[in-house]
Structure formats: structure tokens, C-alpha cells
Structure 1
Amino acid sequence: MKRPSLLAIFLTVFVDLVGFGIVLPLLPTYAHSFGASGLVVGGLMASYSAMQFLFAPIWGAWSDRVGRRPVLLISIFGNVVSYGLFAFASTLQGSMALWLILISRIAAGICGANITVAQAYIADITPPEDRSKRMGLIGMAFGLGFIIGPALAVLGQSLMGKVGPGLLAAGICAVNWVLVWARLPESLQPGQSKEAVRRSRLGGLGHVLSQPVVGFLVMIFFLATFGFTTFETTLGLLITRNFHLTETAAHNANAILFSLAGLISAMVQAGPIGRLVRTLGESKLIALSLVIFGIGLLPVPWIHGHGALDWAGLTGTEAVEWWMLLVCVALIAIGAGLTRPPLFGLISLLSPDHERGATLGIAQSAGSLARIVGPLFAGAFFDQHPAWPYVTCAILAVLTGGAAWWRLVGRVTLPRTAGAVS
């Protein structure tokens, strides 16, 4: 395997998530300053994931036919344009700004679906026995993107004002395009793309779900993403309520907690994931990671305290409550971080070479769908009782882990010396 290829793919996903992390914390306040209602803000937030849901299978299937490299180059260029539009929108006012932000988020969601192609590229250039470990690079890029993105948003805004974050994201994507163009060779073998099967979107979904194990893995990814999105959506609301925080203190605490979660997730996927796959196997690791996630999620709504999350808060009289919450967040991050690499490793191993991109695209769409419906569920249940989203998703995670153990452990035989099997 050529190291530049792996580095370029890692940076492609990393930059996608950095761009997402730059825009995400700014989007609600930007939109609100332009007169957007809560419903409009929610629509802007959902538009990115909705486009990923629609276009991930399209990018994946297209890459099976024409190759990974041209699809990545086109989608990265689209990201440059989308973040440039976001930067320009920040200089406008009123409905024109809102419409341009919506267009930029739609474009970013369409082009951000290239994560599917990056996963297929890694599967193409990685031996079966290392596939899950290499898929951990995708998860590590996710974690690092969510750590660095918000920090770059603050930096860009301080240097260039409201236009800064969008321009910074566009510039990073432009550098990434040059890197891919210069250093990324095609991963598909000659003639392999000719074997790609053309299917409609619904036909592709039906084909994937008709495969018992692969369909079950896609369902697991949907449920795992649904649970983590519920946590993302409600954590800020919950700590504001349970720790009696001001708006500023809640914002800072939420940023610290998510940075911690991203850091832990990245460390898990960069370090022990390969060793754990070799020791436990993909099936056991998926099941155990879901249980860890559920155990971390369940106690969160019952942790109460007073005082901000800062050095004084971690050493003063309320230190126990904050440390309890930090431990729960760490467990959630570990569980979530250990789920994705073996899950996508299994999917890639069980997919024929000429359908791998399309199959990974369907799986990625399932995650995007979870990011659309998850916030709606989380908000509605949180309004009824703050504990309901956490209890529901914790139980769901543990039950899914049990189902994964029963359905996968000892029942799925994987090739370790050859290509993928159908």
C-alpha cells in the first residue's frame, strides 16, 4: 500500500469533517441573526444530512463504474464551492442570506457524501485482514474533525470576521483537491469497474437489505448513529438544565464535552482498534461496543450539579458530578468509536468488489437518515421528559448489541487471505 494514497484519503475525510465542524456551531446563530425561525434553523441543519442520505449511494455506485479518483476530485471541488457560498452568504442580510446558506448546505451535503468513496478506496487498497483497522482511519478523521473544526471557526472569525470560517474551510478543501490530484492513484483494478451493476436507488437498497448479514449490519449502523445523534442533540439542553448553567457556560461546557468525545473516539480508532479486531473479531467488537455505548448513555440524565465546567468546577465541591459526566461521555465516545470501523470492515468484506462502493453508499445513507430523524425524535422526547431520549437509546443500544452477538458471533465466516465474498 502506498502511504501517500492512505494519507490523501485520510485527509479527504478529515477535511470534510473539519468543514462540517467549522460550520455546525455557527449555523444556528448565523441563521438566527438573519431572522430565521427555529423551524428554519432545523431545516438548515437537516439539509446537509438529507443530501448525504440521497447522494451517498449515487457517489458510491458511480465510483464503482468510473473509478474512485475522479469522483473524489469532483466532490472535493464541489466542497470548495459550497464553503465559498457559505462565506459569501455571511456578508448578506435577510432572506437572501438564508437562501444562499441553504444552497451552500445542500451542496456541502451532496459533496460530503464522498466519504462513501473514501471508504471504498480504503477497502480497495487494504488486505481483508486489515480492513477493519484501516476503516478506523475514517472514524479517527471524524473525531479529529470535530475537535479542530470548531477551533478553526473561532480562529477564522477572529482573523477575518463572519466571512472567515467559510473562506478557511474553502481554502482547506482547495489544498485537499491539489493533494488528491497530485498524490492519489486510482484504486480500482483495470476492468473491475466494468463489472459494476447498474441499479436504481430503490433497487440498490433492496439488493443490500436482501443480503441477510449485510442488511443487518446496515440496520445496526442506523441504530448506532441514531443513538449518538440523540446524545449530540440533547446534551447541551440537558447540562443547562441539570447544572443550572448560563447560556455562555453551557456553550463552553458543551464544546469541552464534545471535544473530549472527539479526542477519545479518535484515540480509540487510531490505536487499539486493530489489536481488538485481531483479538475479538469484528462481530464480538461490534456487539460489545454497543453495550458500552448504552452503559455510558443511561446514567447521564440523572447527573445533577452546580457550577461551570472549568478548572474550578473540576476541583471544587461539584467535582464529583462533573467527573461522573465526563466518565459517561468517555464511555459513550469509546462505544461509538469502536462500532464504526469493524462494522464497515465487515460490510466491505461481505460485498463483492464490483459492488463495494454502492453497498458502502447504502450504509452511509442509513447513517445520514438517522441524522435526519434522530434530532426530531430527541427533541420531541426531551420535551416530554429529559431522561426519555437517553433511556430509550440506551436500552436500544444494549438490545442491538445482544442481537449482534446472537446474529453474528460464530455465524459469519470472513476471508482473511483473499478479496471480499458475496
Structure 2
Amino acid sequence: MQPSHNDQQVDLANTAGDLVPANPSTFSDDDTLSGLEKGPSTTVSSPKIPIPEPADVAEKEPFLYSLRTHKYFITVTILLSLFTDMVTYGIIIPIMPSILEHMGGDSTKTGVLVAVYAAGIMSSSPIFGVLSDKMSSRRKPMIIGLTGLLIATIIFMFAQVYWLLIVARFFQGVSGGAVWTLGLALMTDSFGADEMGIQMGKALIGHTMGMLGGPPIGGLLHDAFGPKAPFYFCLAFAALVIVMLSLLIEVRGDEMQEIRKYAVELRARDLANGIEVKEVVHTSLWKLVTTPRMIAAVTVTTLEAFDLSSLEPTLPYYLKDRFNLTEGQIGLVFIAFTLPTIVSPLAGWVSDRYGAKILCCCAVISAGCFMLVLSIENKPLWGIVLTLVGIGLSTSSFIAPILGEISAVVRRTGDKAAYARAFAIFNIAFSFGMLIGPIIAGYIYHGLGFKWNCITTACILFAFVPIIFFWMGDRKAKMEDVAMYEREEEERKRILAEIAIIKAEKKAAGEA
């Protein structure tokens, strides 16, 4: 069934600022950030308000409107956006030694080049987060970001000196900050709390396949078609996603403009009907990031990035030194990471029903155990591949629950315009893990060897499990999140119904 315009899962409550009404029966003191973390409040459900369908005020729909607003088209577009960003990040991993060969490259230089990408994401994510929450469109800044990714990739492809590689890599990260922050915010605009996990899980297949599938793609293309082939692959996907984003229609943006246009009339009608107008709530980045539930989410995010990025600059050198593998063969080994990506939607489905706590705790512990197994010396190549499958399976279960957690934290603040800022925090956390992972791993590998690199990563994973266990949301918290979302949806539909009535009255009165 195609979703109608009014049925899109869109968060609008804060768009109208202090003009958005709030039914007192649907809010309580526990709906503040700190209050709801203590437990659920007793609320009275809002009455169901029928939504009129004023055919006389309906406008002609754009070409292929149903397809361009369909939730599957949105999910696939974001999936390919994340894939493009992360494949650009990971595709150079197995070919890095050959790229840096004439520049005196080693594992340390490789680690820096991997990490500078993360520095670009960290520096740009807060900017895109703040700007996006003030704009009605997510996709237009995403298109700009992907265009920047195209340009930076071309520079990287033709760079002949190390410093230019660093500059190009940094601006690839800046573009990635736009893709991640705005793409995840667009997903939150489009899906409700009851299906956020599974839809995020589907989109995050693109993230995992890009990050972990980039190395095998890069190695195979390098061996088959030459050193520039991996970059042409990235450019083609970036162009494809730009086209898809150009076609996508954001219902959220359309509705925001409608609410702003009729804000004065909405306020007058609500005051006349005796509905309380709730003052707008503004939440700072600091308040978001210091919430215990957000701290737990940020911790898991950082651990996933650290776990994977600590292997990326060291595993190619380890495989080349011990087994004398080529770039293409190293890429094939990295396929072991990508095989378990299918569990991302399953992990999202589990978190939608049972909360994120148990799933994330088990996944982090499992990843640490597999890292310890990887540290065992003198394993055959097939043993390394199987261990990497276990690591990929564990890390693929990390992130889908986390994105639902972040959305819940924002919802509980009451600041419905803070989603992009919250996902900017997610980007910063992920980028921080990507930044320190390869640098630390590069130094440890250079000084102590691959074994201690794996042991160090495992110890770090185990050390943060208590934070996840005590602060992350459980099944009870998830049920509260869904209930709060349903109340917001009732309020959203009521507002849209009021706008439809206002438009009908204006047309009947002969107003423009």
C-alpha cells in the first residue's frame, strides 16, 4: 500500500515553534529529559481526531509522487548514500601500500591517512547538524555534500604527494559528515518509533557493506582494472545517489512550510478552542550529550568504529607480511567482514521489541572475545577468516539499536528540532573511534605487533560494557518511546487537519 501524504511519519511539533499546541493531558513533568529517564509517567491518551480530506483544496501531486515519497525509496536512497560514503572510506585500505609506496609509507602513515577522514567528519557534523535543524530540507545539503565527495575523490585519485592525499581525505570526511548527519535525520523524519530500528537496520546495511566491503572491492578492482578503477567505482555511486536524492520528495519539508504559512491562524484557532499553546523547547548539544542514555549510545558508537578501524590499517600489512597476499587477495579476506551485514535489520527488529540494552551488551562482549581469538598467533588463514566473520557479525549488531536510542533521547527532551544535532553527536562519536583506532593500532602494530593490537582492542571493548548495561534503554524504555511517538503522531495529524480546515475556509471566503 502506498503511504498517503498525511500518513508519512514526520516530526513536526517543534517546527511551528511556540505556535504548536500541546494537549495538557498528553504531557507531564516526566516528559522532560531527566524525568522520563526515571520511569514512565501516567498520561491520558488524546482523543482520536478525524482528518478531513478536502479535495477542493488539494493540489496536483508531482510526477511519480507515490514512488518518490515511498518509505522503501527513502530507505534505499539513504542505504546507497551511506554505502557511497563508507566505500569511499574503505576502498583504499588494501591498496594503501601501493599508493604510498613511492612516498615512504608505513603502517603509521596509513593510520594517519585513515584517521584524517574521521577528523573531517568530526569537524563538519556539528555544523551540518545545526544548519539542518533550521532548514526544511535534508536532501539539498546532502546533494551538496555528495558533490563535494565527488570533487575530493578526484583530487585523491590524481594526488602525487602525501600532503595532498591528507587534504583530499579530510574533505572526503567533511562530505561524509553531511551524508551521515542529514541522511539519518531524514530517516527519523520518515519513520516512527515502532519501526525505526528495522528501517535503520536496513539502511545501515549500506554503512556496513561500504565500510567493510570497500577493501575487497578496492583490491579486486585494483588487480583487475588498474589503480584508478576503485576511484571510478566511488564516483559512479556518488553520481547515482545524487540523482536519487534529486528525485526524492521530502514530505516533512512540505508540511513544515504549510505550518509556517498558517502559524498565526493555528495559534488563533487553538486559543479560541481552549487548547494550551506549549512554549518551544530548545535543547543544547551539551544537554543531549550528557544524558546517561546518550552517553551509552555514544559509547557503543565509538566502540564499533574503534573495533573496525583498528584492523583496517594493520590487517593488510599483517596478511601481506605473513601470507604474502596481493591487494586483491587481501580484499577477499575483508569479505569476511561483510558477510554478516544481513543481521543489521534483524538487530533493528530485536531492538524495536526488546530494547537495545541486552543486544548491545552481548554484541560488544562477543566482539571482544573474537578479538582475543584473532590475537592467537600461528593461526591458518582460514581461521583468521572465520574470526573476522565473528567480528563482523558482532559489530553489525551495534548500530541499528543505537540510532533508535538517539531518537528516543531527542523525543524525551521535547525539542523536536534537535534530531540532526543528535545525529551530529553520533557522527562525532563514530568519527572519534575512527580517528583514534587506526592511530593507536598503527603505533601498537609498529612497536609490539598484531597480537597486542588485538588484545588492546578487546580490553577496551570489555571495559565499557558496564556503561552500556546500566544506562542503555531496555524493553520498558522502548515501550515508553513508542507510546510517546504515538501521542506526537496524533498531535501532528490534528495540526494538519486544522490546516486543511483553514485552507477550505479561506477558499470558501474567496481569499488567495
Q: TM-score, normalised by structure 1?
A: 0.81
Any conservation in 2 of the 1:119–1:138 contact (CA below 8 Å)?
no
For residues 199-278 of structure 1, what are the structure 2 equivalents within 5 Å?
Answer: 204=285, 206-239=286-319, 244-248=322-326, 251=327, 254-264=330-340, 266-270=341-345, 272-278=346-352
Any conservation in 2 of the 1:68–1:187 contact (CA below 8 Å)?
no
Any conservation in 2 of the 1:48–1:108 contact (CA below 8 Å)?
yes
- Of 171, 186, 190, the match for 2:256: 190
| Partner of residue 317, structure 1 | none
| Partner of residue 420, structure 2 | 357
Q: Who wins on radius of gyration, i.e. which is larger?
A: 2
Residue 209 (structure 2) pairs with residue 144 (structure 1): yes
Distance in 1, matches of 2:164 and 2:188, equals 36
Distance in 2, matches of 1:169 and 1:17, equals 10
For residues 339-350 of structure 1, what are the structure 2 equivalents within 5 Å?
Answer: 339-350=398-409
Q: Deviations over 1:220-251 (max 9, x none)?
A: 3223322332233433444566xx42253xx5
The DSSP-based 3-state class of the residue aligned with 1:231 is: coil
| Partner of residue 124, structure 1 | 189
The DSSP-based 3-state class of the residue aligned with 2:481 is: coil
Residue 472 (structure 2) pairs with residue 398 (structure 1): no
| Partner of residue 167, structure 2 | 103
- Of 363, 373, 388, the match for 1:329: 388
Count of aligned pairs: 390
For residues 304-323 of structure 1, what are the structure 2 equivalents within 5 Å?
Answer: 304-305=378-379, 309=381, 322-323=382-383
Any conservation in 1 of the 2:148–2:172 contact (CA below 8 Å)?
yes
The DSSP-based 3-state class of the residue aligned with 1:129 is: coil
| Partner of residue 485, structure 2 | 419
- Of 472, 490, 507, the match for 1:408: 472
Q: Normalized per residue, which structure has more helix?
A: 1
List gaps (5 residues or longer) in structure 2: 1-7, 9-69, 264-279, 489-512
The DSSP-based 3-state class of the residue aligned with 1:111 is: helix
- Of 373, 393, 407, the match for 2:436: 373
| Partner of residue 246, structure 2 | 181
Which amino acid in 2 is paired with 1:45? V
1:10: how far off?
1.5
Q: Deviations over 1:14-65 (max 9, x none)?
A: 2212322333433442233355576554433322111011112221221111
Single out whichever of 73-82 and 144-153 deviates more from structure 2.
Answer: 144-153
Q: Deviations over 1:150-202 (max 9, x none)?
A: 45545765786444433332232122111111124254550699979596xxx
Single out whichever of 131-140 and 275-284 deviates more from structure 2.
Answer: 275-284
After superposition, the Cα gap between the structure-2 partners of 1:20 and 1:421, relative to the gap in structure 1 and judged at 3 Å, is farther
List gaps (5 residues or longer) in structure 1: 310-321
Q: TM-score, normalised by structure 2?
A: 0.68
Task: Give the CA RMSD over aligned residues.
Answer: 3.1
1:78: how far off?
1.0
The DSSP-based 3-state class of the residue aligned with 1:19 is: helix
The DSSP-based 3-state class of the residue aligned with 2:417 is: helix
Distance in 2, matches of 1:368 and 1:329, equals 22
